[in-house]
Structure 1
Amino acid sequence: MTTVTMMLLYSGKQLSPLFIKSAGVKKSLMTVLPLLSSIRGFGQPAAQTHPHLVAEGEVTPGLTKKEFHQRRCSLVRSALETFKGMKSVNDHLFIIPSATTVYMINEIPYPFRQNTDFLYFCGFQEPDSLLLIEAKTSKSVSTGEHESHLFVPRKDAAKELWDGPRSGAAGAMELTGVDTAFNSGEIEKYLQFYNSKHKDFVLWYNHSKPVHTDFHNRIISQLMHDHRHKYLENVSELCQRLRLLKSPAEIQLMQQSAKIASEAFVEVMKFSKPQVNEAHLWAKMDFECRLRGAEFLAYPPVVAGGARANIIHYITNNQVIAGGEMVLMDAGCEFHGYASDITRTWPVSGHFTEPQRKLYNATLRVQEACIRMCTTEFSLDDIYNHMLVLLAAELTQLGIISPDCSYDQRLNLARQFCPHHVSHYLGMDVHDTSSVSRKIKLQPNMVVTVEPGIYIPEDNYKVSLEFRGMGIRIEDNILVTETEPVNLSASCPKRVEDIESIMSNR
């Protein structure tokens, strides 16, 4: 008997057959639900309402119910492997909340973005929802067998009038393929019942950084302090290890995200001219990405003209770029949940000056050498350390670092001219899987960035005047394979000749 069935018997309430995990009932229900969907609507694109985006059997564009189920199975297997051999522990409960709506002021929300881990395991896009996964060591350690339950906002005609349709419990089941679905108001009752019927279970939950403050404070913290379970584990670290390796479907989405951003960069380069406002380049990038199917930019872009490029995370983007200056743009888009992250630097006049060309080509040579290292032989930290050696050599060749400096001094100066790491993991988040060490060797199906830079502030009087005030970064998105690295953003021009050719045809 499942927990859901037991709960219904225990509560003595007449609830909808939707919540009884019975193969016959569920089959009958799935026959009726599609007929209701056109009347009811969903809180996110679905095959029934957006056939141009979502294919039959997909939860989100490109990702099927089967893939989401496999992800949950992988999570269960990974978790249970941690407790392998501990006969006293048989039950495992995973709690993964969604994000909630955040408001600028009363009734005016910021654009909603779903909690990444929640989205990864079920594909449900609505706020104030929660995914529960139940598993038993005796059944699941090799197969990942589990029961999945979604708790979602209740259908509410008054609220939907203002905020748009909600899927409701019935729609959530139909969309995602989870085993059962409830209204969010049932979370507390469900957890109380689970806790009363299970002893010494492992609770898997991101307790160190709660995603949904209300659920945490009002409901989950009580479960955490209950004496009936001995073990509390952070599920986020397991989630990120799984997200680190991309499936073929994820790689296709990331390829498209990089392609969209690359094409948009070309249009922004063409749009550039002396005295252009940084804000206009930002707007052009946003427009071109959305025009090609991206939902929005993946992060606030850096659009830094002239010496402002030396501010690594400059996002003010409100200055005019003078003729003769370069602009450094760090931007990417989010395409059906997957981010791109590209940086290009180019002269708004259309032609590099000789000092700009020298410093730019030095950066490009370092970047291309680092891209070649994106293989299973190296870690991101290995690539970073080699970048410092290469940068030191290039800067010495340009006379920016004195040849009289010792090897260690040159490396220290290279760190000053490039104060950030050369790479990070990329995926559903821009700085993806941040809990995963950059010391581990790269593996096939990882996607990483490669982004060396050279930054010379205007007041660095130790450097020749011709280079002062320049900031250059070049960044691409790289897929690690069994053999050679694949540059997903290769269509975004970065050779001096290609950039100048594009801009000469404006």
Structure 2
Amino acid sequence: MFVKLHRFLKPFTSDLSRKYYCINAPKSKIQRAALRRSFGQPTFETHPHLLREGEVTPFITKSEYQDRRCNLVTSILESAATNNEEKTHVIIVPGASKQYMSDKIPYVFRQNTEFLYLTGCQEPDCCMIITVAPSGEYHTVLFTRDKDEHAELWDGPRTHPEQAPDFFRGRPEFAHQRAGEFFAVVPKIKQMLSALTNIHSIVTNYLSRGQKKCENPRSFIHRLRLYKSTAEIALMQKSCDITAQAFAETMACSKPYIGENQIFAKIDYECRMRGAEYLAYPPVVAGGSRATTIHYINNNQIINNGELVLVDAGCEYHGYSSDVTRTWPINGKFTPQQREIYELVYCVQEELIQLCNSFPTLDALFEAMCRLLGKRLQEIGLVGIQPSNDYLMKAAYQLCPHHVSHYLGMDIHDTPTVNRNIKIAPGMIITVEPGIYISERNKNIPKEYHGIGIRIEDDVLITVNGPVVLSRKCPKHIDDIEKIVCQNQ
């Protein structure tokens, strides 16, 4: 199945001294013994509470990672065949590097999700290269960091090059390389694909001298990531369950004059206590009129009695994210105006989720949101009486100036190269998040509604049998919310 790598690619490395090892080979007794040693990431032997035997990362097996790489190669070859191209392809997907907040103090490391999706490698400064022959034969190489006792004393163990083949399922063919040899081989490559912008631009500029073609493979990877496997769906469900429980606990501790920062801390704590690594993004915790600022993340004000608090938060669970928004009264009781707007948004969201049965595009779902919001705003007298759908949609957009949905997965705004004008299909996970934001500066809306900002967001799995709300355990109905928040008032 696999051709010799040196037929297409001379040994090379990136900016660090590396060794490379080919993936896909049987284990020896020595290799099995090596697995009992510490690696640069959790293993079944070191973290049996997180992984089962055969998994590289929780829930994801070695064979699934291998299938992903195979599917990537297949999709690229199919694209080349469509364009009548017979070329050798070299696909370069680098991992992320550590980023530092100050001298020697790193930020929490988060892997490049394209690299993580294809390898399961959670360590910094690594790189994957796949060489694909026109015949379809391909060779996968993973570059990992060399052993460094001094660095490992400070930062912990690494997955050494001699360990990598067995851990990531590989064949122990390797050699020491230098960075300069990377560019020595470039003129011999007819097409090179790179996943990160900086490497892509470097290689593109280099190849342009010889009129060589260079493309970015992100769109190919994103089309694969768009459809979730059974294991990925299980991870997403767990991520949503953790977030739902965290929201319920946070609602229960709400009371007038609590700080937005305390709400932030509570939901972060509850997510981590249930196994999440961290929050998936800086959360919005917006009390009162601050909820009308869509991306408010200062989270440093006091929430007064009688105000709503809008919380947009989610956690990352072993590489997979949730994204949920709930809005509730800090004292446990909606005012008549708050209740009216909340019920409006709630009903529109329910209708939009049901519309997913017909597999619309996300853009079509957005148009439906504007139409439904406009109609209901007209019914309660906040929008003028005009029969035009265009008028209703424009009026609604003034009060909800964001899209109603995005793809969700390893990243919050997942697979951004995939357009929102394609029909959703089984295996995709999307958000559904209508809202109403009535600024205090809005002179067209009565003052008693001013400062009300409400959004309700859920994570929805598309299936052949209809949409499944993964965040369904998160309290959403008015009666449930008031009961939870009032219990500790």
With the shorter chain as reference, the TM-score category is: over 0.9
Whether 1:46 and 2:43 are equivalent positions in the alignment is: yes
Runs (5+) with no aligned partner, structure 1: 12-17
Aligned partner (choices 13, 26, 31) of residue 33 of structure 1: 31
**Structure 1 residue 77 corresponds to structure 2 residue 69:** no
Return closer, same or farther for 1:469/1:19 CA change in 2, 3 Å cut-off.
closer
2:15 is matched with none
Q: 217, 220, 224: which one pairs with 2:207? A: 224
The CA deviation string for residues 262-294 of structure 1, in whole angstroms up to 9 with x for no partner, is 010000000111000000111111110011111
Q: What's the counterpart of residue 14 of structure 1?
A: none
The answer to whether residue 294 in structure 2 is matched with residue 302 in structure 1 is no
Contact 1:59-1:123 at 8 Å conserved across structures: yes
- Counterpart for residue 192 of structure 2: 203
User: What CA distance in whole angstroms lies between the structure 2 residues aligned with 1:183 and 1:118?
Assistant: 22
CA contact (8 A) 2:23 2:142 kept: no
Please state whether the residue corresponding to 2:402 is helix, strand or coil. Answer: coil
Structure having greater relative contact order (Cα 8 Å, sep ≥ 6): 2
Give per-residue Cα distances to partners, 1:11-44, cap 9 Å, x unaligned. Answer: 9xxxxxx968699xx54x64212323444x1111
Letter in 2 for 1:53: L
- The 5 A counterparts of 1:32-181 are 32-39=30-37, 41-84=38-81, 89-138=86-135, 140=136, 145-179=137-171
Residue 279 (1) aligns with residue 261 (2): yes
In 2, the alpha carbon distance for the partners of 1:45 and 1:477 equals 28
The Cα shift of 1:146 comes to 2.2
* Counterparts of 1:363 and 1:118, CA distance in 2: 38
How far is the alpha carbon of 1:121 from its aligned partner?
Answer: 0.2
Q: Are the equivalent residues in 2 in contact too, given 1:149–1:182 (CA < 8 A)?
A: no
Judge which range, 105-114 or 358-367, deviates more: 105-114
Instruction: Say whether residues 1:350 and 2:342 are aligned partners.
Output: no
SS at match of 1:148: strand
CA distance in 1, matches of 2:34, 2:116: 25
> What is the rounded CA distance, in whole Å, between the counterparts of 1:405 and 1:494 in structure 2?
32
Q: Which residue of 2 aligns with 1:410?
A: 392
Letter in 2 for 1:388: C
Quick one: which amino acid aligns to residue 207 of structure 2?
M
Paired residue secondary structure (1:152) = strand
- 1:126/1:38 CA distance change after superposition, 3 Å: same
State the secondary structure of the residue aligned to 1:84.
helix
Aligned match for 1:329, one of 301, 311, 317: 311
**Which secondary structure state, in structure 1, belongs to the residue aligned with residue 34 of structure 2?**
helix
Tell me the CA shift for residue 405 of structure 1: 7.1
Determine the C-alpha separation between the residues in 2 that align with 1:9 and 1:491: 54
Q: Distance in 1 between matches of 2:9 and 2:384?
A: 77
- TM-score between both structures, scaled by the size of structure 1: 0.89
| 1:88 CA displacement | 6.0
Give the number of the structure whose residues are more often helix, by fraction. Answer: 1
Partner of residue 15, structure 1: none
Structure 2 CA distance for partners of 1:408 and 1:153, relative to 1, 3 Å: same
Amino acid at match of 1:202: Q
Does the 8 Å contact 1:154/1:184 carry over to 2?
A: no
Q: State the 1:172 CA deviation.
A: 2.5
One of 239, 254, 279 as aligned partner of 2:236? 254
Contact 1:129 1:184 in 2 (8 A): no
- 1:492–1:252 Cα change, 3 Å: same
1:386 to 2:346 alignment: no
RMSD: 2.5
Which AA in structure 2 matches 1:348? Answer: I
SS of equivalent to 1:170: coil
**Which of these residues, 287, 296, 302, is aligned with residue 314 of structure 1?**
296
SS at match of 2:312: strand
**Cα distance in 1 for residues equivalent to 2:64 and 2:409:** 16
Pair 1:462-2:454 in alignment: no
Partner of 2:270: 288
1:438 aligned onto 2:420: yes
**SS at structure 2 position matched to 1:47:** coil
Alpha-carbon distance in structure 2 between the residues aligned to 1:400 and 1:48: 61
Q: Is the 8 A contact 1:89 1:202 kept in 2?
A: no
